[in-house]
Structure 1
Amino acid sequence: MMIHHIEVAGERLTLHAQRAIHWAARRTLLVSDVHFGKGAVFRRAGIAVPSGDTEDDLARLDMLVAEFAPERVVVLGDLVHGAATERSGWVERVRTWRQGHAAIAMALIAGNHDRHFDVASLGMDVHPGHVSVPPFVFSHHPEAHAEGYTLAGHVHPGVSLRDGWRRHRLPAFVFDRDVGMLPAFGTLTGLHDVMPRAGRRIVAVTPAGLLPLC
């Protein structure tokens, strides 16, 4: 299944297999850790990775926008990966994409990587700290806040599953009592394994769709 509904802090959220959350009551689409430009950073360092990651990620965003028709897109940190200039190919491509969705409000909760680039120049509203939108707090770091239930990124949560002798590492949504973590949205992002524990809900992102684990 491509979508999975879950109740968090009394609100119905829709998880999507493209590693996003739609909050229908506020017509808000949430993603985290896009890391635009990461492939370019790797290639400058001499690490051979394929190009096209920006186009792939923008195409996935386009699909989500078309499916949910959100009024607002919120990135929970690390929209960009590293330093870039106006001559960096991905910069103009992302700016053009943003102009094509001018009717949609877009905001970034600044993450640790976003300090390397002026994200506001891409047409995004930038918030340096967490933002309270009751009953939620939008944050980059997965820390509990008194103002509400935290939805965050940063960790790139993942799980390991076995299929016979094969081991698969998969992105995952993770919901604890006070904090929920989104999987990294970006194509070239790694994973940090999280473990089941009492009260934790985990939904894995598999090639076939979403798989609730606990």
Structure 2
Amino acid sequence: MNTGTAVDFTLLGQDLLLLPQKAIYWKQEKALIAADVHLGKVGHFRKAGIAIPRDMEQNDLAVLSDLIYQHQPEKIIFLGDFFHSDMNTDWDWFILWRSQFPKLEIILIRGNHDIIADRHYLKLNIQLHHELLVGPFLMLHHPQTDADLQQAAGYVFCGHIHPGVRLVGKGRQQITLPCFAFAAKQVVLPSFGKFTGKVAIRSNKTDRIFAVLQDKVLAID
């Protein structure tokens, strides 16, 4: 398995590993953090008659499995939009995947796409929250405004907007890559799911931006 090149990043005394699989491993908490998996999106579109390869969904679960075997986390924190829409046949794949890691603590911060009834998650021993403070970090789904960040109980971890950074080459060619966007009081994670888009975001000069290439994470100066 090619695990790629990750980047160590220290934040508020906590050791984070920014992974090319578009997730973060938080060493002190032994936790994987991922945003916007959008599991079930393939099934959602296939149900609407749009031809999309079914194995795209299974690939995202396989990547999660690889990260679990590699880093041996005690918990996974999903920052919302874990399942894309209503329950469909892709939920059965998730049930099978969950059965392989019965002792793993799974925490879901509910996002706007997470509309499946609580009982289905609770049956799989998945904790549900709208927000959760873990150490110095506040786990949310939506990015917060500057005013809200002034009142936040901790440094915010969030997703939702599928952030990307636009790079321009010498020949004026452009590419937008998914990125981790660290601002003064919050970080926006890239979308974990492969079947998702990305939006180039505006950043301040003081922000730390890390682009995600196919097999490595790259700090953008």
Q: Which of the five TM-score ranges fits, normalised by the shorter chain? A: over 0.9
Q: CA deviation at 1:50?
A: 1.9
The residue that corresponds to 1:114 in the other structure is: 114
Are 1:193 and 2:200 matched, yes or no? yes
Aligned residues: 210
User: What is the aligned counterpart of 1:40 among 30, 39, 43?
Assistant: 43
Q: Which residue of 2 aligns with 1:125?
A: 127
Deviating runs (4+, > 6 A) in structure 1? none
Question: TM-score when scaled to structure 1?
Answer: 0.92
Instruction: Tell me what 2:59 maps to.
Output: 56
Give the TM-score normalised by the residue count of structure 2: 0.89
Look up the SS of the partner of 1:98 in the other structure.
helix
**Identity of paired residues, percent?**
35
Out of 3, 6, 12, which is 2:6 matched to? 3
Find the partner of 1:74 among 59, 73, 77.
77
Q: Is the 8 A contact 2:137 2:157 kept in 1?
A: yes
Q: Deviations over 1:12-52 (max 9, x none)?
A: 21100000001100101100100011011112223332221
Distance (whole Å) between structure 2 residues aligned to residue 50 and residue 178 of structure 1: 39
Q: 1:98 — aligned with what? A: 98
Q: Which moved more, 1:40-49 or 1:62-71?
A: 40-49
Cα pair distance change 1:192/1:120, threshold 3 Å:
farther
Contact 2:14 2:27 in 1 (8 A): no
Structure 1 residue 122: Cα displacement: 4.0
1:29 aligns with 2:65: no
| Distance (Å, rounded) in 2 between the aligned partners of 1:101 and 1:138 | 23
Alignment partner of 1:160 out of 166, 172, 180: 166
